[in-house]
Structures are given as structure tokens and as C-alpha cells.
Homo-oligomer: A and B are copies of this chain.
Amino acid sequence: MRRALQAARDAASQGEVPVGAVVVRDGTVIATAANAPRRLHDPTAHAEICAIRAASARLGSDRLEGCDLWVTLEPCAMCAGAIAHARIARLYYGASDPKGGAVEHGPRFFAQPTCHHRPEIFSGIGEGEAAGLLRNFFAGRR
């Protein structure tokens, strides 16, 4: 999660909402990514999507079986769907997101009977720091 938080800080320094994500397999970092929709002109370029795409490219497969995803913020519906498609084994996230989160809020994607893959989920890891980065970012934009 330290790496994911550093990626979140990198996102903020680029003017992006500070969220970072890391894909890990057997203790080895496969991919790290910062949230970058504005910089990349890509509405799908959330940290989770970028990390999953990079890890899949690196491993040469559209399934990341046995891989874990660490992300500083509760994933949205788009990212939760991508996590299921990628067959991520374990999801670790930091801050909850009552506005856009889709794990414990809104669509509660992984709890839906139509969800075809549900990772093990661990929340609240590094929550204080992840939430603080977001708070500072939005305060600075007001």
C-alpha cells in the first residue's frame, strides 16, 4: 500500500485526483499506476484500470489469476467490473468512497448475484493517509 500511496501522490502532482494502484503476485510488484484520465485524455484511466492493463500486458494474459490489487480508494463500478474480469484474487483498498464507490456503496457490485468473480476483499488499509491525500487535493482546488 505504500507504493500505491506514492502513486496517488504522483497523480496529485500531475493535477489528477490522487488515487494509486499496484498489482502484486507472490510478493512481486507486477505493475504500479496513478490515476490519469485528464493527462491521458482517457475517462477509463483510473489507477486500477491502468495497473490491471499494465499487469495483463506484462504477463501476456487477460486474466490475472493469483494476483492481488492494492488501491488507495474504494473502486468504482468500472474498476470493480475490471477487477472481476481480470480474476483478481485479493482486493485491498484504503479509503471508502460513499460518492463513487461500488464495493460497499451504490451498486455493491461484488454482492450482486450476476457477479461472476468475487475477490477476497480487505478494506481500510492506509485509509487515513489515502483519505488525507484526497481531502488536501480537493481543498486545494476550492
Task: Confirm or deny: A26 has a beta carbon within 8 angstroms of a beta carbon on chain B.
Answer: no
Instruction: Tell me if A80 is interfacial: C-beta within 8 Å of chain B.
Output: yes
* Interface 9-mer from A5-13, A40-48, A134-142: A40-48
**Contact partner of A85 among B40, B44, B116, CB < 8 A?**
B44
Count, chain A residues at interface, CB 8 A: 45
Query: What's the Cα separation between A122 and B107 when bound, in Å?
Result: 21
**How many angstroms between the C-alpha atoms of A60 and B106 in the bound complex?**
30
Which residues of the other chain, B, contact A80 by a CB distance below 8 angstroms? Answer: 77-78, 81
Q: Which residues of A contact B (CB under 8 A)?
A: 37-38, 40-45, 49, 52-53, 56-57, 59-64, 76-82, 84-87, 98-102, 105-109, 112-116
Ordered by A's residue number, 17 sampled pairs between the chains whose C-beta atoms are within 8 Å are A38-B62, A41-B61, A41-B62, A43-B82, A43-B85, A44-B86, A76-B81, A77-B77, A77-B78, A78-B79, A78-B81, A81-B102, A99-B116, A106-B107, A106-B113, A107-B107, A107-B108
